[in-house]
Amino acid sequence: MRIGTGIGRWVRRAAVLGGVLSAAMAAQASAATWTTQTVPPPSGPPNATATAVSCVSATFCMAVGTSDFGFDHTQTNLKGPIATFAERWDGTAWSLLPTPHAGPGLSLLSLSCVSPTFCVAVGANHTTGRMSNPGFVGGGKLRAVLEVWNGTAWSVRPTPLGAMPNSALTGVSCVSGRFCIAVGSTGLQIAAALRWDGSAWKRLTLPSVKWGPTLTAVDCVATNACTAVGSYDVNMVGIADLRPLAMRWTGARFAVAKPPAERDRFHGKAFSNFTWLTAVSCPSRTSCLATGLGQRTQNFYPQGGFADLWDGKRWTTATAGIARFSPLNGVSCIAVNDCYTAGQFDPHTITTPSSQRPLIAHWSGGHWTREVLPAVATLPNPEWFEGNLLNPNLYGISCVLAVGCTAVGAQPQGANSAPLAMSSLAVAAPVS
């Protein structure tokens, strides 16, 4: 069966999303002390996952997420509806914020804030399935959704993709309240990008890529310097075989680049190149680090982390030190050669929930090094069930220079899942 028929290819990629940003202080990050913050759970569906976070200061971070009722015993059908939630950090504690109704089955996947009074969150709604934990969609008619925070409340805004069937927005980056780029895909397996000019969102023309290109994340350092990443398929028909894809915005148009794929380090030829990018951070116009996943086994899970580095002229692999079966879900850089990624550490080939734990790794000196993190809850038995698919896990991370970092995700809570936040902020919430 071809992975990519209809929305299948997007489903596979979205299933490893998570979100989305990561960064750390150049001077203090290597000696950061991480604590677990108390995050109030949303009301309604019991399985909650924080999918993205964006911080602008020590006293303001915003996180968004999705909650649902979990799957039935077949692991294919949801027991109940899906809901979204938002959380705000005020320098002392997290507090819940209401999010608007934007159609059935809404999930928010990416977030970008430029100030306490302007944030943009993107995702999609759908009639069935889910995008949370870490982003699986079980069918239905997708519609791209875009929401804006004005300092007081979240509101739904019209988007050119909103009327297109099976469309979704999976990444967003804002430079100011008058310039943002959002990326995603349509039901025609075509990458899509939108630009905010301060008054309306407009669709941008993207260069042609064969086959089935999808953009999953974007980072902008200026109105004429953005980098979006995702994947494309080298096969026109048959089983999908994904490769990394990058597009760079220069202010007038996007240009295509094809970063190198996973090298044959762990498996035979059949799995040596199945690689895609899900997050990107650019500390300057001439430097970007993109993280993603490479397939390690014939089964879809588990996946291993992967990274590509842009030096202003070319992309090269940046995989030294990445744990073999540990997916990387987000990345951001505060300076060249000083980046952090968030994901999940798993030392085993076969998923063993009792051994899985959150992962934050530091990129410096051409090598990844795992950070020491506080212990969190693990699954009570070695099975995937209810909302605990691949938990505990971190999906987004955001840092502020000379302040610290905050990462968000999900952790098991009994037979359900609850939001998880870890922080190296100078002023941290009480340890849970």
> Residue 366: inside a domain, yes or no?
yes
Count of helices and strands (H, E) across the chain: 1, 28
What pLDDT, on the 0 to 100 scale, is given for residue 130? 45
DSSP per-residue codes, 252-270: S-EEEE------SSSS-GG
Q: Choose among 34, 109, 21: nearest CA to 332.
A: 21
Torsion of CA 165, 279, 286, 222, to 10 degrees: 50
- Sign of the dihedral through C-alpha 182, 123, 257, 16: positive
What b-and-e string marks burial along 109-139, b requiring 16 or more CB atoms within 10 Å of the CB? bbbbbbebebbbbbbbbbeebbbbbbbbbbe
> Residue 431: inside a domain, yes or no?
no
What pLDDT, on the 0 to 100 scale, is given for residue 139? 47
What pLDDT, on the 0 to 100 scale, is given for residue 96? 97
> Residue 77: inside a domain, yes or no?
no
What pLDDT, on the 0 to 100 scale, is given for residue 263? 67
Q: In terms of residue numbers, what domain contains 369?
A: 8-68+84-423
> Residue 429: inside a domain, yes or no?
no
Q: Quick one: tokens of 47? A: 């399985």
Backbone angles phi, psi at 209, to 5 degrees: -135, 130
In sequence order, what are the beta bridge partners of 108? 123
> Residue 78: inside a domain, yes or no?
no
Domain count, the chain: 1
Q: Beta 35-37 vs 416-423: how paired, if at all?
A: antiparallel
> Residue 38: inside a domain, yes or no?
yes
In sequence order, what are the beta bridge partners of 408? 396, 421
Per-residue pLDDT of the chain (432 residues), as tens digits, is 222 322 233 322 333 333 332 333 333 334 578 999 999 999 878 889 999 999 999 999 999 999 886 665 555 555 667 889 999 999 999 999 999 988 888 899 999 999 999 999 999 987 654 443 334 444 457 889 999 999 999 999 999 998 788 899 999 999 999 999 999 998 767 899 999 999 999 999 999 998 999 999 999 999 999 999 999 998 888 877 889 999 999 999 999 999 998 765 544 444 456 889 999 999 999 999 999 988 766 555 557 899 999 999 999 999 999 887 888 999 988 888 888 999 998 776 555 556 788 999 999 989 999 999 999 877 665 444 444 456 799 999 998 888 888 999 999 887 788 999 999 876 444 444
CATH of the domain at 190: 2.130.10.10
Give the span between the Cα atoms of 304 and 329, in whole angstroms: 10
Q: 182: which residues sit within 8 A by CB, 6+ positions away?
A: 110, 120, 122, 146, 159, 169, 171, 172, 193, 194, 196, 201, 218
Q: Quick one: tokens of 131? A: 């995008």
Give the span between the Cα atoms of 90 and 88, in whole angstroms: 6
Q: Choose among 64, 157, 140, 147: nearest CA to 105.
A: 140
Residue with tokens 């090298």: 263
What pLDDT, on the 0 to 100 scale, is given for residue 197? 95
What pLDDT, on the 0 to 100 scale, is given for residue 123? 94
Give the span between the Cα atoms of 188 and 329, in whole angstroms: 25
**Residue 11 DSSP one-character state:** H
> Residue 2: inside a domain, yes or no?
no
275-284 sheet: strands from edge to edge: 275-284, 287-295, 303-310, 315-317
Radius of gyration of the chain (CA): 19
> Residue 88: inside a domain, yes or no?
yes
